[in-house]
Amino acid sequence: MPTPKKLNGTVIVTYRCNARCSMCNRYKAPSRPEEELTVETLRKLPPMYFTNVTGGEPFIRTDLKDVVRELFRHSDRIVISTNGFFTDRIVDLCKEFPNVGIRISIEGLEATNNAIRGLPDGYRRGYETLKTLRKMGMKDVGFGMTVQDCNAPDLVPLYDISNEWGMEFATATLHNSFYFVENHNIIHDRAAVAAHFEKLVCALLKSNSPKKWFRAYFNHGLINYIYGQKRLLPCDMSFDTFFIDPYGDVMPCNGTKDKEVMGNLNRQTWDELWNSPEADAVRRKVRRCTRNCWMIGSASPAIRKYLPRPAWWVLRHKLRALLGLKPYSMYELPAVRALRDGQVTAAELDALSTCERADAVTDNGLSAASRAQLAYSTGEAIVAADPDVRGTP
């Protein structure tokens, strides 16, 4: 029998979150712990070349080590996205799995980070966790930043810090979807934010790391995204990539307006759901999707799959850096030039974004039981009273 093709998977282990990020309302819509993915369900996952473990805040789950142990049976590489708050739990997990990757969300320098993420002492805790992991000799450690108007000036300073510490630096920008329980995210001053991305792209291209040159391409794609343009590369989510939510629902991605379900791994085998008519219907929707997301979860598999295009971009721009020229200008993107030259207005670009009218309803993707608990309490109060969160120093 031929070896099955390895997939790229994202496992959303919980929708519970202890942060209060300004660009994500997931903390208002938590899952119930007893409904969340079990090891028995994870046992049915297919072979994967890469798995991202995310939430909510994954380390709220006190059995995360069991989850990761099971995932390593399926996946060549695992990276956990976290807010870095539960330092002891993170350190404890990394002692057992020194080859796991850890990405801590840091949204800017101290004041900016704490204002955006709403975590008490979040910046200091995040950095302390990063430093501790470094001291332990963890290799795959870094931080991730979601760039928006208020923190864009911190983009390059944070990149410099990541270099000083020899850490990975992952970037993202604002998206709207059921996953973020948000549909009003938008960049207001596109040119100003893009100018900070441009500086980062230049710095990455000047580095000696091929990985960073491709990161430069990814950030070039982020500028393209905030101008509401067509993705630089096709989106093939649900073909060789999947997301699974805390309820076992398998989805193409986390960028859709409403939750799209291919099947449920609690009730079905992987082969049944992956080859089902429902999965094919979702794939047809993906082919017609115009949301043009550019998140690492959907861009990275595309860069890998359509490598010649990004490789040609990297080659041309790296050559400029080697010749001592400015390696990159954001004005190579037609939409950036069009806004500068008054051929398009900010309002016209706003209309191309996924930001909706103020009264638009947001899908939160919760199960009926998780939704029901919100009838008598808020998501914040439910999570604050959760024994898995309460009493954490």
Using CB under 6 A as the criterion, which residues of the chain lie in contact with ligand SF4 when the complex forms? 235, 237, 252-253, 255-256, 286, 289, 291-293, 298
Nearer to ligand SF4, 43 or 285 (CB): 285
- What are the structure tokens assigned to 331, written together? 């004005």
Phi, psi of 388 (to 5 degrees): -70, -15
**Rounded least distance, CB 237 to ligand SF4, Å:** 5
Provide the residue type at 256 as one letter.
Answer: T
**Rounded least distance, CB 234 to ligand SF4, Å:** 9
Phi, psi of 264 (to 5 degrees): -130, 125
> Closest by alpha carbon to 145, among 133, 158, 157?
158
Nearer to ligand SF4, 205 or 237 (CB): 237
Nearer to ligand SF4, 20 or 257 (CB): 257
Nearer to ligand SF4, 144 or 297 (CB): 297
Nearer to ligand SF4, 67 or 279 (CB): 279
**Distance in angstroms (rounded) separating the CA atoms of residues 183 and 170:** 23
**Rounded least distance, CB 29 to ligand SF4, Å:** 19
Contact 329, 191 (CB under 8 A): no
**Rounded least distance, CB 344 to ligand SF4, Å:** 22
**Rounded least distance, CB 290 to ligand SF4, Å:** 8
Quick one: 224 exposed, middle or buried, by C-beta within 10 A (0-12, 13-18, 19+)? buried
**Distance in angstroms (rounded) separating the CA atoms of residues 315 and 297:** 24
Nearer to ligand SF4, 102 or 289 (CB): 289
Concatenated DSSP letters of 379-392: HHHHHHT-TTTTT-
**Rounded least distance, CB 347 to ligand SF4, Å:** 23
**Rounded least distance, CB 255 to ligand SF4, Å:** 3
Concatenated DSSP letters of 88-134: HHHHHHHHH-TT-EEEEE--SSHHHHHHHH--TTHHHHHHHHHHHHH
Quick one: 86 exposed, middle or buried, by C-beta within 10 A (0-12, 13-18, 19+)? buried
Nearer to ligand SF4, 144 or 252 (CB): 252
